[in-house]
Structure 1
Amino acid sequence: MSTSIRVSDGTKRMLESLKQEDETFDDLLERLAQSEKPIDIGAWSTEKAERARESVKRSRESFER
């Protein structure tokens, strides 16, 4: 089974630049789709999230000086 999709010339050029020599466009799109990782919501523990918040806060404060 085959499906056609329309892309702009610019998008096609970008895809061509990512495509490996021995790859079909189908192979390329499958590889790109598989490389996208879903965001794991709630992955940080409360402690890790608090450390990250503190780091961001310190970073912002250092730019305010």
Structure 2
Amino acid sequence: MSTTLRVSDDTKALLEHLKRDDETFDELLERLAQSEKPINVGAWSEDQADRARTAVKRSRESFER
């Protein structure tokens, strides 16, 4: 079975840049889809989440200077 997907010229150019020489667009899309891992909600402990929030806050503050 075959399906046509419409994408903008810009999107096609981005995909062509990611596509390996030896793979089809179907193989590229499959590879990209498989590389995305679902977000595991609650994977961090409260302490880990607090440390991450603090690090993000410090990082944002450093750009404001």
Could you state the TM-score of these two structures normalised by the residue count of structure 1?
0.76
Q: For residue 50 of structure 2, what is the amino acid of its counterpart?
A: E
Deviations 1:34-56 (A, max 9, x none): 11111110001123223334545
**Pair 1:49–1:24, CA change in 2 (3 A):** same
1:19-38 superposed matches below 5 A: 19-38=19-38
What's the RMSD between the two structures over aligned residues?
A: 2.3
2:17 corresponds to which residue? 17
- Separation of aligned partners in 1, 2:7 and 2:56: 39
**Pair 1:44–1:8, CA change in 2 (3 A):** same
Give the total of aligned pairs: 63
Percent identity of equivalent pairs:
66
Unaligned runs of 5+ in 2: none
Could you state the TM-score of these two structures normalised by the residue count of structure 2?
0.76
- Separation of aligned partners in 2, 1:38 and 1:18: 21
- Separation of aligned partners in 1, 2:56 and 2:11: 36
Q: Which has the higher contact order (CA 8 A, sep 6+)?
A: 1
